[in-house]
Amino acid sequence: MRLLLIMLLTIFVLAGCSAQRPEGGSYPSTVVLNNIQYGLSVEKVTQDKIGNQLGVVKRIVQPMPKENEESNEAPVGSKLYEIKGIEPNEAIAVEINGEYRKAYKNGPSK
């Protein structure tokens, strides 16, 4: 019985040690534009609210982007837009796979 308990305990310890963290860990989805970090939300923006294009994601950076037009989730080529009626220093829209997602200002990128 004791041997069985030791074997089970060993299996649990080894299984716990081999668990790997997902890519990016626990960092929030972020995009940087004009030296401002924006947190990418799941909130959708309708096409009629999309304004002028402000930029495009040029690089994926892990774990957190710091330079303009970098992201840790939005794919390279994702376009960044202003949202009609909202100042770009408050929120922007990020086009990902044909959908526009709202990204809220988190603060300065550096």
pLDDT digits 0-9 by tens, 69-95: 999 999 999 999 999 999 999 999 999
In percent, how much of the chain has pLDDT > 90?
72
Return the domain boundaries, the chain: 27-108
Tell me what pLDDT residue 34 has: 96
Asked whether 64 and 30 are in contact (CB, 8 A), the reply is: yes
CATH topology of domain 27-108: 2.170.150
pLDDT digits 0-9 by tens, 32-64: 999 999 999 999 999 999 999 999 999 999 999
